[in-house]
Structure 1
Amino acid sequence: MRNKITFLFVTLSLVRFLGFSQQNYELNSGWKTLSIGEVDAKGEELSKRSFSIENWKNATVPGTILTTQLNNGEIPDPFFGMNNEQIPDIYDVGRDYYTYWFVKDFKESAKKDEQVWLNFRGINYSVAIFLNGKKVNQEEYKGMFLRKRFNITKFLAENGQNRLAVIVYPAPHVGNPNGGQGGDGTIARGVAHQYVAGWDWIQPIRDRNTGIWDKVIIEKTGAINLKHPHVVTKVPGKRLPGEKQEPATIIFTAEVENPTSKAVEGILSFKIADQIIEKEVNVAAHAESLVALPEFEVKNPKLWWPSGYGEQNLYDAKVEFRIKNKTSDKESLKVGIREIQTEWNAHTRSKQIFVNGQPIFIKGGNWIISDAMLRFTKERYDAEIRFHRDMNLNLIRIWGGALPERPEFYEACDKYGMLVIQDFWMSGDCNGRWVDPKKKDDQWTRRQYPDDHQLFIKSAADAVKMLRNHASLAIWCGGNEITPPQDILHAIKDEILPELDGTRWFIDYSNSDEMSYNFKGGNGDGPYGIQEISTFWEERTWPFNSEVGSVGVGDAVSLKRFLPKENYTVPIEYEGTEAVKDPVWTYHKYIDYGNSLEPYGTPENMEDFAKKAQLVNYDQYRALMEGFSAHMWDWYTGSIIWKTQNPWTALRGQMYDYYLDPNACLFGLREGSKPLHIMYNPVSSDVYLVNNGFGAEYDLMLGVKIYNMEGEEKRLTQVFSYIEGASVKKMFSLKKPLDTLAAQEGLFLKLEIKDRNQEVLDENFYWLPDSTGTYSGLQHLAKTTVKAEVETVAENKFKLKITNPEENTVSFFNRISLENAETGERILPTFYDNNYFSIVPGATKEIRLESPESKVKNLQISIEGWNTDRMLIPVN
């Protein structure tokens, strides 16, 4: 057989492929289910069309047992109030209670030379699969994260009328949900996520997410099946966005599988950037082969950059295997041409991230999972990752107690420019880092979890193959706060990643000294609760902090979505405990605000509490990121917030709630993370300028104004300046004037940057307390009435103009919401380019809103603020 390689340089519009008959489709509807206790028949009988399933219940696939039960009205919403306590826990009722049969009828047949494949992208925890009276999986299929593909061609019915029956068994070790992190820890004996036994941000998931939780896909191919295509992009040198680029190198491999009894000759081709690279291949009967195409170059590539640094260019790429000019199999890929590098920063004593040769100051968020009951959708992923982009973040870390995130998550990260750290599935809590009286087994025993190391290694290799083509995937991590056991660590670090990836930094565990030198001792991350603003600016923490965060209660509208009416209260902490007097707030893991609300006045009710909490939320997260940015490349190379989202209705650490409604945390973080930013250190009263871009910024006009509680303006200074790329600069001090002017009742401070065209590049608005630390002026701030008008820019895009008349004082801390005019309910998710904003007298702000494309035509925008009563503007 000739080993012939061809390079073709053509436009893709001229390429035509003949004879392609491949089909991929999901089996995502029409499933039926019953528990094992309600079914007497065996799988061979159930999987025959003659067996009646007329009285079976509708099943949700992909989904878990609880999701099916919830959708059938059998259980209450476990995310509301204390409803979760009404649902039987698998630890108490036994595994059989949550062992279920799933049945699906579908039409499919195979023509001559066609192969039909049944693909499972995720089951939890083990299954037996039957099709048309025969068992499909002859070997045990278990492990939550392991994908499986079965050739079902020989199992298909001659008339094309097929029945698939799957029995799903829960994990053998479900864990005692005794209140510990991961309960008693034994949930980690399996290869699955650990949070389902409970954590400090969630109550236990009662079925431990048992079910066919991810996609089931039917795939049709010819004699050759393409598997695991792998694209590596090399971008040497130091690049700049938007410029003509030197060439980038592309390396491509793919696995080809021949399930037939005859050897097959054909052509493997890869198409990208108007180039086709082909190679003739001979695949033996019943064999698989890894095929490598020669390296080639893309001239003047359009590079992929993290958010805030450049465009997220993605190429459409095609992989195809042809036999006698007929397509046997093909796949489509989105490829971002970029290269990620790391090096040790000896000054900060931490790793530093580079993309395409340029330094990236990491501003990240820790991510748990999109939905605690695994109700994943492409639309929800897109919305959540867009929120992270809108917060001016550039990295998301996937926490090790969850899962290898889905390709749809990574597609959104590719689209919005989020770098990703993907943890493997270990945690210091369950896997033995610490002595823990809540745990069933001792540390030595827990250190060897899971029970089946080979299953973990096999699942890790499969996860690498599933995710490695995504431009956003930047770093692999061995586990959360602990390394895997030595044999697993060796397999991942020295075998799997070099062989299957070889392009990304591997951290042995999330707060490793290899990532960030832990000069302070302790666990190497945190703190996690309410902090003095001075902490973020003046107290040095770990130079690349993998987990640092604060509070995150939503506003009253958010709270009322999951708190029963009798629990609309101000949370009051039991002294010396983590609990509060209201049990529902404690159940939803409320984290206390301490005395941080008192300077605004003691909250009178839940609405008042939530309103004042937003002021603290905004200040906490703006200060967090501004404090880290002020010490960029000196103390720090990055920080990752714990955490930016909740997959459950928790009362802590979130920039938006479970229902995708943003709170002030999101907009404070957005402000503090701006790429070009002017900011104020409230401890020293110094003003800083930070530039996260690669190029210097010249002829910047820095302006400082203050406003008293009557709205009277005073300019403190206005100066020209410049700043180099990827740097921070201390500009001047405001201590003397502010100490004097703010002493009596506090004041408002407005900082801004203008360019040479006098366009505002950045504006930052602070509210300062009086000399006692109290916001006495705010407590007596006069009411304002603003003027507003809305323009519909597109079907789901709007521009709101709000003017504060000159005779007013400052219209302070306004929240706007897009609502259904008939019900008054917020349209979720809605994306705002600004919110929780203030308007000085005589000024106008323009806010852009974008909602999902919706059938709701009768819309309104609400405006309400600290000293502005709720008003409604119809959207025509």
Structure 2
Amino acid sequence: MTRFTLKFYGVLMLLAVVLAPSLASAGVVELSKNWKSAPMTKVKASGEEISATGFNLKKWQPAIVPGTVLTNMLEWGEVPDPFYGMNNNKIKDIYETGRDYYTYWFVNDFQQKAKKGEQVWLNFRGVNYSFDVFLNGKKVNTERHHGMYLRSKYNITDLLAADGNNRLAVIVYPVDVVGNPNGGQGGDGTIARNVALQYVAGWDWIQPIRDRNTGIWDKVTVETTKAVDLQNPHVVTRVPGVRKPGAEQAPAFIETSTELVNATEATVAGKVVVEIGGQKVEKEVSLAGKAKVEVELPTIELANPKLWWPSGYGAQDMYTMSVKVYLDGQLSDEETVPVGIREIQHKWNDHTRSMQISVNGQKIFIKGGNWIISDAMLRLTPERYDAEIRYHRDMNLNLIRIWGGALPERPEFYDACNKYGMLVIQDFWMSGDCNGRWVDPMKKDDQWTRRQYPDDHNLFVESAADVIKLIRNNPSLAIWCGGNEITPPQDILAALKDSLDALDGTRWFIEYSNSDSMSYNFIGGNGDGPYGIQPDSIFWQYRTWPFNSEVGSVGVGDVVSLKRFLPEENLVVPTDKKGTEAVSDEVWTYHKYISYGNSMEPYGGASNMEEFAKTAQLVNYNQYRALMEGFSSHMWDWYTGTIIWKTQNPWTALRGQMYDYYLDPNACLFGTRVGSQLIHAMCNPVDKMVTIVNNSFDTQNDLMLVAKAYDMAGKEYPITQVFVYSGPTSVKKIMSVEPFLNKAGMEKDGAFLQLQLLDHNQNLISDNFYWYPNAEGNYSGLQEIGASKLQVEATKIGDNKVKVVLKNPAGAPVAFFNHLAIVDAKTNERVLPIFADDNYVSVVPGAEKTIILDCPQATTSNWKLAVEGYNFEQKYFNIK
């Protein structure tokens, strides 16, 4: 493991950021400490023997739970960091070793007694892939549990030790079919015969995960109740009519139900009580012995509710709902459920021929990102989720689509989406690559065989129903999707629809990610793309699918990012091999680099790694700004939304990401952020037409547009300063600025364009800075631009916040494309994650810019500020 990776992982494990729980229950204790582990091949004892407290565990290793076999082996130092260099090739793959090699025992000693009248339950929220459970010398499960996504719950009351000293032993087996990681999408495809992750056999953005993520990968809890256990409470919020954020609201209506399980043989009677927002409803119940029932409660009417809105449109107000069950006046069980009051609607837009999404009656132009998984080795923490979703919010996106080859995302992921206002499309676990959409010579089975994956259809359906119950209460969850680029088999699809109707019934279900029911494919092809580097003009001129589920580009980080996982000898400029997708360096190829083509040549190319990575950020910024602006320019005409492929990587890949695996943002993030502003002034790269995009629900009167051009020496050429009007959710063309850019020398040397929008209070709400090549398409002026005279002042304004003021003196050249970072004062290593309200910024002569940097998860604050610009050598500044 590299020093940086070890430090990074240790910080994630130790952080204690307080986040709102997705669902809390009284009397629940997580078993997250004191685990030990050993491979099955080295343990010559039965589960009954191992789970006896007298069994000797002296030679067993301390284990991480939640975790996987590979994360534990990494912690024990038995394998190198698979995310660094070519280390992954040094780890034995399960396809070669056989399943027994990665079959492991996990043991936990815990304290728990059952008092009179109490029931004690053992809960597993996720184990990959099958397992048997033993407690105090007895087998707990009568049949082996299968399914990575299927929760399991066991009543262990009668198995607990009288003295409270208990031993739990769990043997975890890998997926039934491990798949051949032969370099195809999902390897040979047979990984999809399981109801589990598909990417673990490798994809075009990741190498194979050698243990296929075997382990107790999600929470294990012990829960105490009385006779009746309250399970899977369900909340539906109804918000009729068209609403406005911040206004006095008409009533909303809250429908609730819950499952009740009587653990005893006796008939019991009592009542269920639900409270939210000062309102209370209840219902009398009676349960026969060992009965399980679902109870629907009276609808709650909530006056003037605080509504939940997607990011940028309003607040993400949340309520806490209490659900309790009483027996003879005594509390038997309770749970608290975070509730966001909102209603999501969808309707077909006949003009665009695509679906249109509304929230609380207001249509939302979808600006989204495709999400794989937070960490490819399932090191999933609330802190990392919070940081990643905050980055998506900071990009001014409003939706995340969870790709179908990965997870039904965890409640902690949804907690962060609820908090930051991100709508979510949740795919179920199919992909066109593994499940047979296309002919593929890399696949073991033919299309007809793959079309019927997985092997156990009943397990898929059962897992889907359980996942629906797990995450359905989240206001951020907006859309269900049957699979990535393919529907499930017909019997699964029918059962899935039945489950969604019965267990949810409030959300739009797309049969597959690029279905005509989402976005009518009148162009041909697969219904998504394009991918890879594109001329900026393509996004404005080329009409693609009207609700595009995948469109994306490059995403290499800067040189600091690259040095974290590329060995020194591989820090080279990647040179394309003609006729292949590979580059001259095998490590770049191994980490799935895709070419930047000739996009860096107009900047003069790159002779070393530093120049390459620095120039890549200019390309990154322009690519994603142009993507978001181009789609927005055709809002409601060509498009109802677009979703970037993709915004993050769960390992150290060299493509499609706004921040690297270590949570270090690159220029893609800030280009997307600017291009996705709610109210935005932008310029068409083809005809230089300035356009105003208003994504808000309100008419924007008295917006002032300020447009200025600058030449390479920094001379200002005023263009216009004019009040403009913009209707709600609309696009409006204003004027062409090409003649003014030519006056600033664009044809000869290139030029700069600054577009700013001020609201009626003179607050700057959109700030957009373009740089243009000369008539030959080269940035000749940038290559000769004078040295920046940037002045920097940094001041601590809170425990984890720094205010930075950048000033550029009058008469100086533009201080172009400056990157800011907080670094440790002793080591100069970057403090991560870091959140900036802007970055990669340019400051025109005679102006200043204020930027706020936030490092909320930092463990120390002995910092310096690092600043580097295109024409400004990196310098470190003390923070006052």
**Matches for 1:61-72 after TM superposition, within 5 Å:** 61-72=65-76
* Aligned counterparts of 2:449 and 2:104: Cα–Cα separation in 1: 31
Q: Contact between 1:785 and 1:869, CA under 8 Å: does it hold in 2?
A: no
Find out whether 1:781 has 2:785 as its counterpart. Answer: yes
Using the alignment, how far apart are the partners of 2:108 and 2:185 within structure 1? Answer: 37
1:745 matched residue in structure 2: 749
User: CA–CA distance in 2 between the matches of 1:717 and 1:614?
Assistant: 30
**TM-score, with normalisation over the residues of structure 2?**
0.97
Gap change, CA 1:21 and 1:66, over 3 Å in 2: closer
Q: Which residue of 2 aligns with 1:505?
A: 508
Deviations, residues 239-288 of structure 1 (Å, cap 9, x unaligned): 11010011111100000000101111111011101111111111111011
Partner of 1:686: 689
Distance 2:875 2:812 in 1: 17
SS at match of 2:873: coil
What is the SS of the residue equivalent to 2:386? helix
- 1:558 match: 561
Corresponding residue to 2:698 among 692, 695, 702: 695
Is structure 2 residue 219 aligned with structure 1 residue 215?
yes
Distance 1:874 1:282 in 2: 68
Distance 1:349 1:480 in 2: 21
Q: In the alignment, what sits opposite 2:128? A: 124
Give the partner amino acid of 2:474. Answer: H
Alpha-carbon distance change, 306 to 422 in structure 1, aligned in 2, over 3 angstroms: same
Equivalent residues of 2:816, 2:870 under 8 A apart: yes
Distance in 2 between residues matched to 1:761 and 1:529, nearest whole Å: 31
Match of 1:235 in 2: 239
C-alpha separation in 2, matches of 1:378 and 1:124:
20
Equivalent position of 1:268 in the other structure = 272
1:518 pairs with 2:521? yes
Asked if 1:606 corresponds to 2:609, the answer is yes
Identity score, percent? 64
What's 1:863 paired with?
A: 867
Instruction: Identify the residue that residue 385 of structure 1 maps to in structure 2.
Output: 389
Asked if structure 1 preserves the Cα contact closer than 8 Å seen for 2:709 and 2:740, the reply is no
Map of 1:175-186 to 2, 5 A cutoff?
175-186=179-190
State the Cα distance separating 1:21 from its structure 2 match.
11
SS in 2 for 1:280: strand
CA distance in 1, matches of 2:56, 2:391: 47
Change (3 A) 1:613 1:260: same
Question: What does residue 636 of structure 1 align with?
Answer: 639
- Asked if 1:733 corresponds to 2:733, the answer is no
Question: Unaligned 5+ residue runs, structure 1?
Answer: 1-19
Matches within 5 A, 1:418-817: 418-493=422-497, 495-739=498-742, 741-817=745-821
RMSD between aligned residues: 1.0
Equivalent residue letter for 2:479: I
1:67-88: CA deviations, max 9, x gaps?
0000011100000000000000
Shift of 1:738: 2.6
Matched residue SS, 1:624: helix
Output aligned runs, 1:298-377, within 5 Å: 298-377=302-381
**What CA deviation, in whole Å up to 9, does each residue of 1:645-693 have, x standing for no partner?**
0000000000000000000000000000000000000111101000000
2-structure distance, mates of 1:64, 1:22: 28
Runs of 4+ in 1 over 6 A off after TM superposition: none
2:98 alignment partner AA: G
Give SS of 2:143's match: coil
Deviates more, 1:318-327 or 1:207-216: 318-327
The answer to whether the Cα contact below 8 Å between 2:282 and 2:298 also exists between their aligned partners in 1 is no
CA–CA separation in structure 2 for the residues paired with 1:282 and 1:758:
63
Contact persistence 2:25–2:334 (CA under 8 A): no
Structure 2 equivalent of residue 165 of structure 1: 169
Letter in 2 for 1:715: P
Which of the numbers 802, 825, 830 marks the counterpart of 2:834? 830
- For 2:118, the equivalent position in structure 1 comes to 114
The alignment partner of 1:203 has SS state of: coil
The answer to whether the 8 A contact 1:338-1:355 is kept is: yes
Residue 725 of structure 1 aligns to which amino acid in structure 2? P
Aligned residue for 1:794, secondary structure, equals: coil
Shift of 1:857: 2.9
Tell me the CA shift for residue 807 of structure 1: 3.0
Shift of 1:721: 1.0
Provide the rounded CA distance (Å) in 2 between the counterparts of 1:858 and 1:294. 55
Give me the whole-angstrom Cα distance separating, in 1, the residues matched to 2:496 and 2:372: 22
Give, in angstroms, the shift of residue 632 of structure 1.
0.2
* CA drift at 1:325: 2.4
CA distance in 1, matches of 2:101, 2:160: 32
Match of 2:275, SS state, is strand
Asked whether the equivalents of residues 271 and 285 of structure 2 are also in contact (C-alpha less than 8 Å), the reply is: yes
Counterparts of 2:103 and 2:662, CA distance in 1? 30
Partner of 1:406: 410
**1: CA distance, partners of 2:726 / 2:472:** 37
Matched residues in 1 for 2:301 and 2:736: separation?
52
Equivalents in 2 of 1:326, 1:796: separation in Å? 46
Question: What is the Cα deviation at residue 165 of structure 1?
Answer: 0.5
Distance in 1 of aligned mates of 2:548 and 2:26: 47
Q: Residues 107 and 162 of structure 1 are in contact (CA less than 8 Å); yes or no, is this contact kept in structure 2?
A: yes
Q: Determine the C-alpha separation between the residues in 2 that align with 1:466 and 1:21.
A: 14
The match for 1:415 is 419
CA distance in 1, matches of 2:165, 2:145: 25
Partner of residue 5, structure 2: none
2:178 to 155, 174, 177: 174
Q: Is the 8 A contact 1:795 1:853 kept in 2?
A: no
Q: Given the alignment of the two structures, is residue 244 of structure 1 paired with residue 248 of structure 2, yes or no?
A: yes
Kept after mapping to 2: 8 A contact 1:702/1:752: yes
Q: Distance in 2 between matches of 1:755 and 1:516?
A: 35
Is 2:715–2:811's contact at 8 Å kept on the other side of the alignment?
Answer: no
- Matching residue of 2:95: 91
Who is 1:195 aligned against? 199
Partner of 1:145: 149
On the 8 A contact 2:27/2:225 being kept in 1, the answer is yes
Letter in 2 for 1:326: Q
Contact 1:22–1:222 (Cα < 8 Å) also in 2: no
How far off its partner does 1:853 sit?
Answer: 4.2
Q: Deviations over 1:819-867 (max 9, x none)?
A: 1010000000010000000000111110001102433232001111000
Output the CA distance in 1 between the equivalents of 2:828 and 2:783: 29
Matched, 1:847 2:862: no
Quote the Cα distance in structure 1 between the aligned partners of 2:44 and 2:857: 47
Structure 1 position 792, deviation (Å): 1.4
TM-score (norm 1): 0.97
Deviations 1:464-494 (A, max 9, x none): 000000000000000000000000000011x
Alpha-carbon distance between aligned partners in 2 of 1:213 and 1:695, rounded to the nearest angstrom: 46
Give secondary structure in 2 for the equivalent of 1:863. strand
1:817 match: secondary structure: strand
Once the two structures are overlaid, the 10-residue window that deviates more, 52-61 or 629-638, is: 52-61
Question: In structure 2, what is the Cα distance between the partners aligned to 1:838 and 1:483?
Answer: 47
Deviation at residue 323 of structure 1 after TM alignment: 1.8
AA at the equivalent of 2:520: Y
